[in-house]
Structure 1
Amino acid sequence: MLRLVVLISGGGSNLRALLDASQDAEFPARVVAVGADRQADGLAHAEHYGIPSFVVPFTSFDSREAWGDELLAQLREWQPDVVVLSGLMRLLPAQVVAEYAPAIINTHPAYLPEFPGAHGVRDALAAGVTETGASVIVVDDGVDSGPILHQRRVPVEPGDTEATLHERIKPVERELLIQTVLDLANGTIDLKEYRA
């Protein structure tokens, strides 16, 4: 059984999808804890399913490194096989990446390497493209620059706003995340191949 710790910053819709999927006894992964960098709404999903959670508030620390040290201490408590970034809106500090990579995956609302960064949906609209997408990647020290595990195109429709386009991308992100977790659990994807 693959042990997952999921890190969030917001509403946790991808987290909810993973928790829903893991209710199936046949699903080969379990979320053992949920962490956040603030009092995120998505922590309610963990509470609903009886999953332990922790908060390491970024603003409580003098530096990103100090925050990273505490985040690392929390992660070690749960001994995850894979750390899932699911809407965590902060770059992981180097010491966290060094300890867990390549067993850190992230969802992103664009067809990487197109439109990396915090505003992938907005950037796609600003560029006037006719399609964007969703990706699941291995986290490295860059910004959305790690190896791509799964991705799928999503069309941009006339009149799309950032909100409407993002709402169409989210279900694709969720499907890709669940497929990636399944592939990791059954060995179709071997993260050891991505060691630096």
Structure 2
Amino acid sequence: MRTEPLRIAVFASGSGSNFQAIADAAMAGRLDVRIELLVCDRPNAGVVERAKQAGVPVHTFRPKDYDSRETYEREILTILQQKQVELVVLAGYMRIVTKVLVDAYWGRMLNVHPSLLPSFPGLDAIGQALRHGVKVTGVTVHLVDGGLDSGPILAQRALDVEPGDTEASVAERIHRIEHRLYPEVIQAIATGSIRLEDAANKPKEDGTAP
């Protein structure tokens, strides 16, 4: 059993509502983690101010200042290792993650996605779902494997699409679910209820290992 909080880093690009939900849960004692770092590719993003208000160290960068994704990820990886980060939490991070980080944190990097994967991966998942006329959509928390929202699924929660729903109305309810589900999954990892080594080694549908 762990005696110290789980050391995590949150990666985000936007307003940071999921970051805030995680930080609030930690400050309220519902989440046995210590947020060691926020990583953000947009120095002026709202999440940066949220992190400062929460007392979380921030690393910002501009991708255009680097000659490749791998270059800035190696820089980030060095900081993560210095801070002994155990779990990377992607929370609205709008960059493609390369093998530099995926390999270093295989089985220890999470993402939250606004659909019931494997349906509607990628951008505009809510819009994709509504254009397909689905009656049920939802939220998925999964491990990151370097593919397009293709890693092993850790948890899902469904949401009924009601007549007259718009992308905005569905998105509002999706975000409320994310803000509850993501901290719950992180806490389950922190307490050992979810064993990431088991999820990471789970055979894929074709019978092969990840």
In the alignment, the residues of structure 1 paired with residue 131 and residue 81 of structure 2 have an alpha-carbon distance, to the nearest angstrom, of 41
Instruction: Name the SS for the 1:42 alignment partner.
Output: helix
Q: 1:98 aligns with which of 85, 97, 103?
A: 103
- On the 8 A contact 1:2/1:81 being kept in 2, the answer is yes
Q: 1:128 Cα deviation (Å)?
A: 1.1
Matched with 1:62 is: 67
Matched with 1:181 is: 186
Q: What pairs up with 1:26-41 in 2 under 5 angstroms?
A: 27-39=31-43, 40-41=45-46
- On the 8 A contact 1:104/1:139 being kept in 2, the answer is yes
Q: What pairs up with 1:12-27 in 2 under 5 angstroms?
A: 12-25=16-29, 27=31
Give TM-score scaled by structure 2 length: 0.89
Matched with 2:125 is: 120
In the alignment, the residues of structure 2 paired with residue 99 and residue 38 of structure 1 have an alpha-carbon distance, to the nearest angstrom, of 23
- On the 8 A contact 2:39/2:58 being kept in 1, the answer is yes
Q: 1:49 Cα deviation (Å)?
A: 1.1
In the alignment, the residues of structure 1 paired with residue 61 and residue 76 of structure 2 have an alpha-carbon distance, to the nearest angstrom, of 6
Give TM-score scaled by structure 1 length: 0.95
Matched with 2:76 is: 71
1:168-192 deviation line (CA, Å, top 9, x unaligned): 1011111111111111011111111
State, as a whole percentage, how many aligned pairs show the same letter.
Answer: 39
In the alignment, the residues of structure 1 paired with residue 87 and residue 54 of structure 2 have an alpha-carbon distance, to the nearest angstrom, of 20
Q: Larger deviation: 186-195 or 66-75? A: 66-75
Matched with 1:154 is: 159
Matched with 1:166 is: 171
1:111 aligns with 2:116: yes
1:29-59 deviation line (CA, Å, top 9, x unaligned): 1211111111221111111111111112222
Q: 1:26 Cα deviation (Å)?
A: 5.7
Amino acid at match of 1:52: P
Amino acid at match of 1:17: A
Matched with 1:2 is: 6
Q: Larger deviation: 35-44 or 55-64? A: 55-64
With over 3 angstroms needed to count, the CA separation of the structure-2 counterparts of 1:96 and 1:25, relative to structure 1, is: same
In the alignment, the residues of structure 2 paired with residue 108 and residue 95 of structure 1 have an alpha-carbon distance, to the nearest angstrom, of 22
Q: Which runs of 5+ in 2 are unaligned?
A: 202-209
Q: 2:143 aligns with which of 120, 138, 141?
A: 138
Instruction: Name the SS for the 2:131 alignment partner.
Output: helix
In the alignment, the residues of structure 1 paired with residue 14 and residue 195 of structure 2 have an alpha-carbon distance, to the nearest angstrom, of 29
After superposition, the CA RMSD in angstroms is 1.3
- On the 8 A contact 2:112/2:178 being kept in 1, the answer is yes
Amino acid at match of 2:118: P
In the alignment, the residues of structure 1 paired with residue 160 and residue 80 of structure 2 have an alpha-carbon distance, to the nearest angstrom, of 37
Amino acid at match of 1:22: A
